[in-house]
Structures are given as C-alpha cells and as structure tokens.
Structure 1
C-alpha cells in the first residue's frame, strides 16, 4: 500500500545548527500518526518543511505526497494539495467573526463581492462537524481557547483537508476540552482525514495514535505501529531522551524550615467588573525548603491569585496582607514585590515572560538590571558573564547567549525565564504551569532546578494543571475552586481522587 506521505532523508540546517539530519517519516492514508520528541528535537521544523514554511530548495531530501514528488514553495502551495497545519499559537483574528476567520484568504465570492449568505451557511455546516454550537457571527475574542482550536479545525475542513497537522493541540486546553478534541480527531479519522499530531502528552498519544515516530536530536529514532506493538509511555520516553527514566520526579530531602511567606485574608475583585469577586478570603503559607502546590480546574482562580500577590498585577480592590519572613511586605507594585523577595514565572512565557526578539543575555538580566550596571549604565561584559553562568547551570542548549530567545525550544525558553528570576535572588518563587508545553526530559531538568531551590532554603509555590506533577513534587497542596481554597492536603494525604473530591463536593 502506497503511503499518503513519505519524507526521505530530510536534512535542514541553520547557521551553526543542524536541526534535521536524515529524518524519515512515512504516513499511511487514514491514520493518526504521532510525532514525539524532546523540545528542540526537530518535530516542528520537520512539519514546517512539509508545509512549505521552509520551501523546497532550503533543505535536502525528498517529499513524496500522494505518490508524487512534492516541492512546496510556500504554505499556500501545500494547502492546495490538502495539507493543513494548525500551529500551537493559533492564527485567528480576535476581532473578526468565526465565519470571517474560517474563510479569511479563501473567501466565498463572486466578481469580488463576498457571498455572506453562502459563507454563513457553509460555516454552520463546518461548526456542526467540529461540535461547536456558536453562531457564525460570534467574534473570536468571545471564545475560549478550546473553542478557538475547534474553529481552526473547521477552517482546515473548509479547505478540503486531506492531511491535517496538529502541533501541540491540547497544550493550552483544559482536561475536558482536550478530551473533546481527541474525540474529534477520532471522528475525523473515521471520515478519512489523515492526521499528524505532535504532542508531549503521552497518554493522549497512546489514546489516538495508530503509529508513533520518535525524533531525537534531529534524527529518526524509532517508529512504532500501535496496532501490532505495545506502545508504553516508558518506551516512548526512553526513545525520546535516550535513557530510562524509572522515576519521573527526582528524589528530594523534604525539610520545612522557617516561615517565609504568609498571605492572610486575601480578596481580589475582577479588574473590569467591580461587583465580581475573583479571590475569596485566601490564607496560605510557604516555609523555607518547601514546595507548596495549588491544584484546581482551569478558571478556579489560581493564576489570578498568583498575579494579584505579585505586585497586584491582576485585579482591583485588593485587600489582605502579605508577610515575608515575619514582616509585612509591600507588594503593591511589581518592582516592590521583587525587592521584597518575590518572583513570578508566568504561565505564558512567550507573551509575558520573555522578550522574544532579544537574545538570551538580555532576557536573563531583565529582572535585576542593577546587578549588571553601575550608575545606571549596563556593563555588557558583566551581563555576558551572568548569562553564561546560567546557561551552564541550567543546561540551556544554545550555541551562544547571543541567540534570540524566540529561536529556542520551549524547554530552553522556560530555563531562560527561570534564570531571569533566579538572578533576581528571590526568597519565594511562584511557578505558574512551569512545565507547560515542554517534553519529559526538559520537565525532569526543571524538577531538579525546583529541588535545588528548596535545598537552598527557598520557598516554591507551584501552580499546575497536571495532578501527577503536583503529587510528585509538592510537600503540601492547597485545593482551589471558584476563587477559594476548599482543602489543604499533605503529600501523604494527597491523591488525584482526593483532590477531585474536594473540588466537586466543597
């Protein structure tokens, strides 16, 4: 049987870096084919080669599609053949409607005039296929991320897709939205749509994939047929990182010391709607050497709590008290919160945590410019020395600290964010989804960094949507629902079932 897609000996080089080295990929028609690998392994680069983002001539090797040699010049060239890629960062226009987004650049028009009746009717059909009940005229900005993802798939279906590529499609989705998207993938498969999924969530890969290809360091390591072979997470992880990982969470000597941070009677109202209370009478504490977790469903208020504590960067009419080492701390502004000893690693590293167009050196020192300057003038040599120190300590994989942060993999970007805040020398580090969108190998490195911080006597407050991560890393876990804490569990008491029961019953 001839494969729908065959990529042979694909090699792609950038200055100083060989991103792909003789990669081979074979995708059969009608299957869901998963591509797994660590951040920086070359997965997204391979898909950009396939979709024409990197045009024919900019790489070595051959692409055969539907039995013919394919040399795509750009994205529109591959889309004409039914190859549609949905990137992790969704490409929708917030202030346009669903219908306008679906047919943007592919308008249903006659003699230059858009046929809106036909556009809306076709949009309704497409929305039914992906399970969306919204009106075609609904603005994208009114939709959650999960529904926006479905709009992207509807947009792909409008172009008569034959091969749908989904790059980390569930990275920003809730558990319910993730399951709905996976169900839709299986429905599309039943309709004959071939799909490639890039994902770090191995339980999702096992659920939907017929075939799994693992890429490591720009080369193909293995291809597993899930229909005839056992596909275990341990096997995929071993192929991804090149070693066994018997324990996903490194061991740590758990010893809680002096009280570092106490938050008392913390209340926050919505920044735009002053009659809507978001955070309700929160009391929490973090001791030296502790990793304290906050569990809860998306929308429970975890991020809003963290941001409001860190310089009141979220909310209005905020009341309550923050103490650091027993003294009332001024955290009314971000710079004062930093001076008091707080740091906050945002869940959105690309928009809020990094300056993507700047290099590693500039990003690492952003939160503590005084540490590399004198009389208001930055010492570039000192800045380079600091960046090189954290590059080595954090194992940031890059040819140089002068590399643009936007060119790094997700895991390495996260290490740059952590480096920035560690250079500010905080007493308490608030981590909001610290491993979102990064692979198991990079996660393990982040976990080791967290353990090192606790060993140094720092306090860590960790927000995560992955319950196994909280259970594996935390000494205590606060459970949050609808803006309030509904329980507190020690590591010995905590389980996924206990956390969920607190959420749904309190």
Structure 2
C-alpha cells in the first residue's frame, strides 16, 4: 500500500463547453506522487476532454476552473507549456515517426549538436540512459520504430515523455493494441515509474486491468465527477461500473440459452496464404461448423489467424484463400465481400475506423453503405427509405447522436461501433461475424452489444464472435473454437470451456 503524501496534480471545478454541449461540469481531480489513478467512465463521459484541458490541447482561455501542479497554479496556453510543467500524455494512437530511429524519436527537435552537426554519440548515450530508467535493455537507440512491436513503440513513447522530465504521465487506453505479454511488460514499467515517484493517470475500459494496476479510481459520468475518488481496495468492480453507468448492471455477460437449430455454415480445410512469405500459411486447414441458435466464439492469441480465417470466409482474399464453404448444406464460392453479403454473411471488422466506417460521412451514409441496392431503383436512391431505416437502427441500437446527419467521426467509440452494427444488420444477414465487437468501448456499451447478440440469436441469426477478452468469449459463447498458430486446435462446449483450458490450447500446451 503506497503512502499518499505529496499532491502532484489537482484540478478544481473544471468547466468546458462546446457549442450546445457542456462536456465538463465542475469536475474535480486530485492525484499524488508515486500513484496510479484510474480515470474511468463511459465513452463521452469527458475523460479525454479533461485530459486535453490538463495537457493544454484546450487552452486555459477556453475553459473555467483551476489547475495546480505541485501546489502551483498553472494556466496552459498550449501543449508545450504543459510539457514544460512536467505533464505528458501517451495517446492511444502513438505519435512516432516510423522511418526514424528510437533515439531520433525520443529527442525529436531536441537533438544534441556540435555546431550544425548532430552529436550522435551523446544522442545515443542519453537514449540509453532514459531506456535504462525503465529497465529496458532489448531496444537499441539505432533501432527503427517501424521494426518494433506496438508494445515496444509504446515504451518509446513513455521514454520520450520521461526525457522531457515528465512527472505527471497520462496513459490513454495504453493496452488496447497490446498482447498479454506486452501488457505485463507495460505494467512492469508502470510499477518502476511508481517507485520513482511519477504520478500516473491511467484511462482504460478494462476493469480487470484497473483492479490490477490502479491505486485509486476516479469516475466521470456525463461530464461530472461521480462520488469521491476511491481507493481500489474499498470498491468492487461492480461498484465502479454502477458509478459509470448510473444503474446497476446485473450481468456483464447476459448470456441467454436458445435451442440449437440447423447447421447454417460449414467450413472445410480452409487455408489462407501468408501475404508476404511465399509458401507459408496464415490459416492452415481449418474446419468448423456453426448453427442457428448459437454464438460460436473464436479464441486465440494475437497472430493465431482468427481474423484471417473469418476474412477468408468473407471473400477478402479471393486469390489467397483455399478450401470449401457450405451454407445450409450448399457449397458456395465467395470471391468478394459483395458475394458474401449476397450469401447472407455480414462481417463487423476488428478495426472499425480503418475499414468499418466512412469517417468523413454522416450516420445515414454509413448505415446504408453495405446495402445501397436495397434503397435504389435503377440507380436512383430512395433517400426517404434510407433515412427511415437509419432512424430505426438509431432507436433500436440506442445510438447517441445529435442527428442522423451527424458525422460519425464526432461520435464516441461505442456509438461508432453501433453504427457499424447497424450497417451490417441493414443487410439482413443470416450469419453475422463480429471481430472484437467491444474493443475500446465502455462497459455500458459492452453490455448493450452483448444483449443485442442474444437478440440476434433469438431472431435466428447465427453469430460468430472473435474476442481477445477471454471473459467475453467464455461469458457469451455456446461453443468455443480455439486457434493456435493458424490451426483450429480445439472446439469446446460452454460447460467445458474454462479459462485455463482455453489458454492451454491457445498457447500450444496441450
């Protein structure tokens, strides 16, 4: 148990307004030297806005309230002033230059020079010092960023912040793209920084991580501070969730049992070629079946071939996919996503922003994007029907948006995900594949999506779900297909699928 003595950060009565919206309403926050303060709340609760106020992204002139760093009141006009005061943010989307070295990224715009030339020796020496502060010895100053894993790139971001003498470090969804081993390494570094007296604000939707790494928890809801900041040992995860959503959440995984019906999908000996290595396979002869009335979960470690498997079924790699696909007993050839849709298959992709959404378009355009023929006659769009369909899904999925004409880029992550779901439900799929359906969204939205999955199964849709969150796989699946290094190594019924057994198969220890 840490001793909370020196206050590093205090934010008092912070108010931030946007046109027509109060994003922060008298928010208060206090964080101490050598602690990890978890900042939690649903998407749109105000977490990112509060941190942008702290880091100078929203200048002092645009908000009300007071900020104190080590007892001294600060007014930041920009991010440089916040950095000079010892505040740094590690964003979810890393801000590194891939083609430059580790040393060049850490000391970008601050290179050590001898006259007009860079003093490479000193630059590399100082880089080694800051990496050593994190006990990182397997990254060289000369390594290129593009050659590092996402986890190691994140360590470089932290090292960059420390090179600026940051004493207050904000980590915004730092584990969203990391493997389990990379998360362990990140947590090791966080504990190192705690020992060194760094104050950290940790933003995450993953409750188990908060329980593992946080010392205290601050909750925001609808732009307001909810209750006093609480020591982690004094509150349950259910208590945190209740503060976040405002109501008791009965079950994180409200799985309902339905009678299994006909076989809707059968895959035989599916292979997907490696895109870069000739002769190698990303998916190696996978066979499985899926039925009406069930949720089939697909589990496996990162790189196990889960996404490549479902993308191959969906026609994303027609020249590199081999094997047989049967729908209701009939063999089908699927050589494009358009053909997959024609056969009643929908795929909600892992990366909603890159391939799931048209970020520059409004909600209407996104919901109808996969079903344009449904709303057109001889090439003429029936906008009235298109808008009616969008309103129905906005209501059905409880999508929070100012209007159906709002740009989807302005919506929270959870509501963006619901728009993607609405897009694929508009195609009236018989088989719906969800790849990481709740990644990066808040607890309340997760429960809503889990309930929607039940509803779809009840309506006769076969649901296939990929998730890296093992509790989600175990909580929502009727059966679990486990993949390891491109192969399907086990299919487990719900009753026999335990965390230990799934991990044994997924890691190859069977």
Q: Same fold (TM over 0.5)?
A: yes
Instruction: Give the structure 1 partner of residue 393 of structure 2.
Output: 390
Q: Distance in 2 between matches of 1:254 and 1:21?
A: 45
The alignment partner of 1:23 has SS state of strand
In structure 1, the residue matched to 2:231 is 226
- After the TM superposition, which residues 90-129 of structure 1 pair with which residues of structure 2 at under 5 Å, given as runs? 90-129=94-133
What residue is the counterpart of 2:449 in the other structure? 446
Pick aligned residue for 1:432 from 431, 435, 438: 435
1:468 corresponds to = 471
Determine the C-alpha separation between the residues in 1 that align with 2:142 and 2:338. Answer: 42
Using a 3 Å threshold, how does the CA distance of structure 1 residues 346 and 105 change in structure 2: closer, same or farther? Answer: farther
Is 1:264–1:320's contact at 8 Å kept on the other side of the alignment?
Answer: yes
**In the alignment, what sits opposite 2:278?**
274
TM-score w.r.t. the length of structure 1 is 0.96
User: Is 1:405 the equivalent of 2:408?
Assistant: yes
1:375 Cα deviation from its structure 2 partner: 2.3
Cα deviation, residue 341, structure 1: 1.3
Give matches, 1:228-243, under 5 Å: 230-243=234-247
1:494 corresponds in structure 2 to 497
What's the offset of the Cα at 1:384? 2.2
Which range moved further: 124-133 or 430-439? 124-133
CA distance in 1, matches of 2:394, 2:64: 31
Q: 1:341 to 1:105 in 2, by over 3 A?
A: farther
Pairs within 5 Å for 1:181-200: 181-200=186-205
Q: Match of 2:376? A: 373
Contact 2:96 2:105 in 1 (8 A): yes
Residue equivalent to 1:290: 294
CA distance in 1, matches of 2:298, 2:68: 48
**Structure 1 residue 466, shift from structure 2 partner:** 1.1
* CA displacement 1:57-98 (0-9 Å, x = unmatched): 212222122222211112112111110001111111222222
| In 1, Cα distance between equivalents of 2:20 and 2:149 | 40
Q: Secondary structure at the match of 2:268?
A: strand
Map Cα deviations across residues 380-415 of structure 1 (whole Å, 9 max, x no partner).
333322221111111011211122211211111111
CA distance in 1, matches of 2:64, 2:380: 47
Task: Give distance in 2, aligned partners of 1:96 and 1:222.
Answer: 45
Change (3 A) 1:444 1:111: same
Q: 1:329: how far off?
A: 2.0
| Secondary structure class of the residue paired with 1:4 | strand
Q: Partners in 1 of 2:63 and 2:378 — Cα distance? A: 49
- The one of 343, 348, 351 equivalent to 1:345 is 348
Distance in 1, matches of 2:55 and 2:30, equals: 15
Could you say if the C-alpha distance between residues 382 and 101 of structure 1 is closer, same or farther in structure 2, counting changes exceeding 3 Å? farther
Query: Per-residue CA shift, 1:202-258, capped at 9, x if unaligned?
Result: 22212222221011111000234427x523211111111112223211141322111
Q: Aligned partners of 1:173 and 1:363: how far apart in 2?
A: 29
**Compared CA separation, residues 380 and 107, structure 1 to 2 (3 A):** farther
Report deviation, 1:349: 1.1
- Cα distance in 1 between the residues matched to 2:379 and 2:125: 61
Q: Shift of the alpha carbon at 1:372?
A: 2.3
How far apart are the structure 1 equivalents of 2:156 and 2:53?
24
Unaligned runs of 5+ in 1: none
1:434: Cα distance to partner?
0.7
> Is 2:208 the counterpart of 1:203?
yes
Is the partner of 1:33 in helix, strand or coil?
Answer: strand
Give deviations 1:345-391, integer Å, cap 9, x for gaps: 11111112112222212111111111222322333333322221111
Q: Distance in 1 between matches of 2:116 and 2:200?
A: 34
Q: Is the 8 A contact 1:127 1:133 kept in 2?
A: no
Give the Cα separation in 2 of the matches to 1:417 and 1:261: 23
Contact 2:92 2:173 in 1 (8 A): yes
Aligned-residue offset at 1:2: 6.0
Structure 1 counterpart of 2:48? 44
Aligned position for 1:22: 26
**Closer/same/farther in 2, CA of residues 110 and 357 from structure 1, 3 Å limit:** farther
Choose the corresponding residue for 1:175, options 167, 180, 183: 180
* Alignment: residue pair count: 504
For structure 2, list consecutive stretches of 5 or more residues without a partner in the other structure.
none
Contact 2:42 2:443 in 1 (8 A): yes
Give the root-mean-square deviation of aligned CA atoms: 1.7
Question: In structure 2, how many angstroms separate the alpha carbons of the residues matched to 1:82 and 1:50?
Answer: 11
**Counterparts of 2:348 and 2:111, CA distance in 1:** 41
Equivalent in the alignment of 1:133: 138
d(CA) in 2 for partners of 1:88, 1:44: 11
Partner Cα separation in structure 2 for residue 483 and residue 456 of structure 1: 32
Q: Residue 39 of structure 2 is aligned with which of 35, 41, 45?
A: 35
Q: 1:200: Cα distance to partner?
A: 1.2
Label 1:424 to 1:110 Cα distance change in 2 as closer, same or farther (>3 A). farther
